[in-house]
Structure 1
Amino acid sequence: MFRRGTLSNALPVILLLSALTFCSVFPVSSQSVAQGVTGPDTVDVVLIYSHGCVACERARPVTAQALSYLNNSSSIKVNYVEYIDNSREGLEYFERYHLKGVPSMIINGNTVVGPDEFGGDSGVAYNLILQKIRDASDYTVPVIIDRTMVRDPSNATLINVANMIRNEGNESVFLSFSDGEDNGINVTSGNAKWEGTIPAGGSVSLAYNATVSGLDRTQSPKISYMDSGGAHVVLLPEDMVPGSYSFDLLTLLIAGLVAGFNPCIIAILIFIAAEVASATGNKLDIILNVAVFCLGILAVYLVIGAGLFEAVSIIPSIAGYLEYAVIGILLALATYAFYNAYQRYTGKAVGSATRGLIASVKPLYTKYRLAGSFLLGGLFGMIKMPCAGGIYLAILSKIILSKEILEGVVYLLVFDIGVILPVLALGLLLALGFGTERMEKLRAQHAVLLHALNGAILALLAAAFVLNII
């Protein structure tokens, strides 16, 4: 039984911590708009130029003059940036918008002003820039793309891609469409490329079959069109190749169990058990505090997972960089774990981040044990996150690219349960009478083995991620 008042005191703390966790992951936003008052239209303008380019040297001051006029004498607010053509950003814009030369201006991510339109008289270029930006401030892209990709059930290497292109504007557009150009994709039949006019309210259906080799996602199609407002580009996100990701729930649970192993956690659980036992002597109190400690770990995993989800959703290309970062962190931590094991084996003194973590939380813990347990879990989760990051990124990639959000959330939940099960098991052992001194003695006796095993697990996780096993 809980000591009288323990449960009633615990519930508000648990509810508060859970609410804070929920709000941090799923923030509630509110917007207020003053009636009858509208803010200025915002237009994003990017100019790509080159040093030594005569037309660029003329275009830059003309552009600055036009933007200054708009910002000072109209309701249009312009966010302006320049990139050199051979810079990383400039090269990305050339590839993404299929630019033909410099100077080139991209307005609101869809309207392209090419070098031919900048040439000639500065006054003409000035008026052109003003008109293009004014048009872009209330321009709605008329071209809508519905795209589906499915794997052929009779051939695992074959995918069927269907693109429905609709013109929802009030004028005809001349459109150019090109798809299936990734290395590793071989179009076997159908139409992956098309060029022609789509009347207002009209549509074009394009479908093709292709074999896929060594790809888990495809580049977006190259889509550009012309209307009375000039040249425009339609950007689509990368597509996941169907069937590229598949997770078995038992495998995920085992992966979570492996990722949840850490010798440092024993010291924290011993601290929690000793503090609670000396304060209340109640075994169920120990279980409650260990459970809240696990809640802290889950909260951090949830927040970091949601943060990665949001980041990769906004900028899909960073997923690749995150993968390399996780592999590097895993290898660094594995090296440190092996070094730690070697130091202990040779009898040299080893500093302990865990002891420092416990010492920093102890003043709070003596007054607010549940809050202290949650904080310890959260801090420990931050330290432990790189070990699980590879699996997390793999699951998040499935959620983002396949849009199977519910399935992805189930995967994350199963993995998280695997992470905390070893913690709960150790906490239960302590609560059922496995003495803290005895556990500490066992930890000290097998410290070398535990740290070496931890290093091996981290190294194996890194290798598995490199080999696309997880």
Structure 2
Amino acid sequence: MPDSPRDTAPKTVSAPSTSTPTVSNRSVVGYFFYGDGCSHCDNIKPVLAGVQSRYPDLDLEQLEVYHNATNQALFLAMDQNLGITSAGVPTIIIGDQALVGEDQIRDNLERVIQQAQAGTLAAAPAGTGNGNVTATKNCPGTFTTLTVPLVIFCAGIDSINPCAFSVLIILLLSIIALQNCRQVLMVGVTYIAAVFLFYFLSGIGIFSFVHLSGISGLIATAAAVIAIVLGLVNIIDAAWKKEGFILAIPESKKPVIERYISTATLPAAFVLGVLVGIFELPCTGGIYLTILSLMSSTMTLSEGIPWLLLYNFIFILPLILILLAVVFGIPPERVNTWRLENRRMLRFAIGLAMILVGILIIFGPRLL
């Protein structure tokens, strides 16, 4: 995807200086990978300015990786070639040497430059290099590539939402005997549209906040951890909890839901959809936040809108299928019976899938 104007990383070459003689006139080419909002990257920039004034032949290309997909891909490829399994910023790569973290750069950069000037550094060959680099004072990054299959997979897991299912089915049960198929369809579509709009608009708000924060990589990692924790809670819910579930609509809110269900008008169906979104987003939002963080690290909001539309369409797809099944003749009682008989199995499957997504986001580049 095209990079936004703010993501274009300038190539920085210092003006010649005569303050300190260099070892030789050999040009030294290097890459400085950093992230907007990374405090250790900001700390190291004055150090680089001083080093560049002493080594005018240093050609150090500055590449931002939190918001630039092209730079992320280059960073991961160079790390892989050097055998580095724990990507983090700030990182400087010169020849076959990688300095990862604030301390390594401060302590070793000039030595590496002098080795490069003396011609003792080799170009980085594929599959060799520093291996596991132990870095201190660095900002770890999450650079799992955002792809259509990944978005569809995560949205599919998020869409298996037992509470959204149950509210729709109970709503249909309450009106199927009182209204014709057209009215049932309109009420169901209104409910599903409200769920879609709530999640879509929430996604835009979260995307904008994460993008402006400048720490989308860290937020993606935190969201992945949340997804793993919620996955474990779902597994506990499915395996051991006898009555009710931890991740469910709070008991105190159910009378409000039931009141709108009993009304069964189009406005009431819309309010129901919004309420389900409000109550359920904190419980199942770990996956959504993870995807939004990955999106915000590689694209602008306008570029992310189609991805948000895709995610949220997949998210409401099971609700659409349930509604169509009822409208075309399957009794909602049968659908509700299936839901009740399989809800523990569904929660267990959701829990495993959420853990898988969290592991993929955190360790994805190292697992490939």
TM range (shorter): 0.5 to 0.7
Q: Deviations over 1:140-178 (max 9, x none)?
A: xxxxxx98985699998369xxxxxxxxxxxxxxxxxxx
Structure 1: runs of 5+ lacking an equivalent: 1-90, 100-145, 160-180, 190-209, 214-237
Residue 174 (structure 2) aligns with: 275
Residue 157 (structure 1) aligns with: 77
Q: Deviations over 1:77-109 (max 9, x none)?
A: xxxxxxxxxxxxxx889838859xxxxxxxxxx
Cα displacement (A) at 1:254: 3.5
Q: In 1, Cα distance between the equivalents of 2:360 and 2:164?
A: 24
- 1:386/1:325 Cα in 2 relative to 1: closer, same or farther (>3 Å)? farther
Cα displacement (A) at 1:333: 2.4
Query: Which of 227, 235, 241 is equivalent to 1:338?
Result: 235
Query: In the TM superposition, what are the counterparts of 1:322-401 in structure 2 within 5 Å?
Result: 322-343=219-240, 348-350=242-244, 353-354=248-249, 356=251, 357-367=253-263, 369-382=265-278, 383-384=280-281, 387-398=284-295, 400-401=296-297
1:253 aligned onto 2:149: no
Higher helix share: 2
- 1:284/1:157 Cα in 2 relative to 1: closer, same or farther (>3 Å)? same
1:435 aligned onto 2:331: yes
Q: Deviations over 1:270-309 (max 9, x none)?
A: 21101222442x2232222222222222222223222222
1:433 maps to amino acid: G
Residue 187 (structure 2) aligns with: 289
Residue 86 (structure 1) aligns with: none
1:257 maps to amino acid: G
Q: In 2, Cα distance between the equivalents of 1:402 and 1:321?
A: 14
- 1:386/1:412 Cα in 2 relative to 1: closer, same or farther (>3 Å)? farther
Q: Deviations over 1:347-393 (max 9, x none)?
A: x3336844844431232344462223223222323414653544544
Cα displacement (A) at 1:260: 0.5
- 1:360/1:96 Cα in 2 relative to 1: closer, same or farther (>3 Å)? farther
- 1:334/1:283 Cα in 2 relative to 1: closer, same or farther (>3 Å)? same
Larger radius of gyration: 1
1:157 maps to amino acid: A
Cα displacement (A) at 1:343: 3.7
Cα displacement (A) at 1:183: 4.4
Residue 95 (structure 1) aligns with: 43
Whether contact under 8 Å (1:338, 1:455) holds in the other structure is yes
Q: In 1, Cα distance between the equivalents of 2:225 and 2:272?
A: 26
Q: What secondary structure, in the 3-state scheme, does the structure 1 residue paired with 2:93 have?
A: strand
Whether contact under 8 Å (2:192, 2:320) holds in the other structure is yes
Residue 304 (structure 1) aligns with: 202
- 1:430/1:94 Cα in 2 relative to 1: closer, same or farther (>3 Å)? closer
Q: What secondary structure, in the 3-state scheme, does the structure 2 residue paired with 1:157 have?
A: helix
Residue 198 (structure 1) aligns with: none
Q: In 1, Cα distance between the equivalents of 2:90 and 2:240?
A: 48
Q: In 2, Cα distance between the equivalents of 1:334 and 1:393?
A: 14
Structure 2: runs of 5+ lacking an equivalent: 1-38, 48-61, 80-87, 97-122, 130-138
Whether contact under 8 Å (1:152, 1:158) holds in the other structure is no
- 1:405/1:421 Cα in 2 relative to 1: closer, same or farther (>3 Å)? same
Query: In the TM superposition, what are the counterparts of 1:7-406 in structure 2 within 5 Å?
Result: 95=43, 157=77, 182-188=89-95, 246-280=145-179, 282-317=180-215, 319-343=216-240, 348-350=242-244, 353-354=248-249, 356=251, 357-367=253-263, 369-382=265-278, 383-384=280-281, 387-398=284-295, 400-406=296-302
Q: In 2, Cα distance between the equivalents of 1:158 and 1:424?
A: 45
1:288 maps to amino acid: M
Residue 17 (structure 1) aligns with: none
Cα displacement (A) at 1:412: 1.5
Q: In 2, Cα distance between the equivalents of 1:323 and 1:153?
A: 17
Whether contact under 8 Å (1:272, 1:286) holds in the other structure is no
2:196 maps to amino acid: L
- 1:431/1:156 Cα in 2 relative to 1: closer, same or farther (>3 Å)? same
Higher strand share: 1
Whether contact under 8 Å (2:160, 2:346) holds in the other structure is no
Cα displacement (A) at 1:419: 0.8
RMSD: 4.4
- The size of the alignment, in residue pairs, is 261
Cα displacement (A) at 1:425: 0.5
- 1:153/1:341 Cα in 2 relative to 1: closer, same or farther (>3 Å)? closer
1:454 aligned onto 2:350: yes
Residue 43 (structure 1) aligns with: none
TM-score normalized by the length of structure 2: 0.57
Q: In 1, Cα distance between the equivalents of 2:72 and 2:171?
A: 55
Q: In 1, Cα distance between the equivalents of 2:144 and 2:245?
A: 41
Between 1 and 2, higher relative CO (CA 8 Å, sep ≥ 6) is seen in 2
- 1:326/1:156 Cα in 2 relative to 1: closer, same or farther (>3 Å)? closer
Residue 305 (structure 2) aligns with: 409
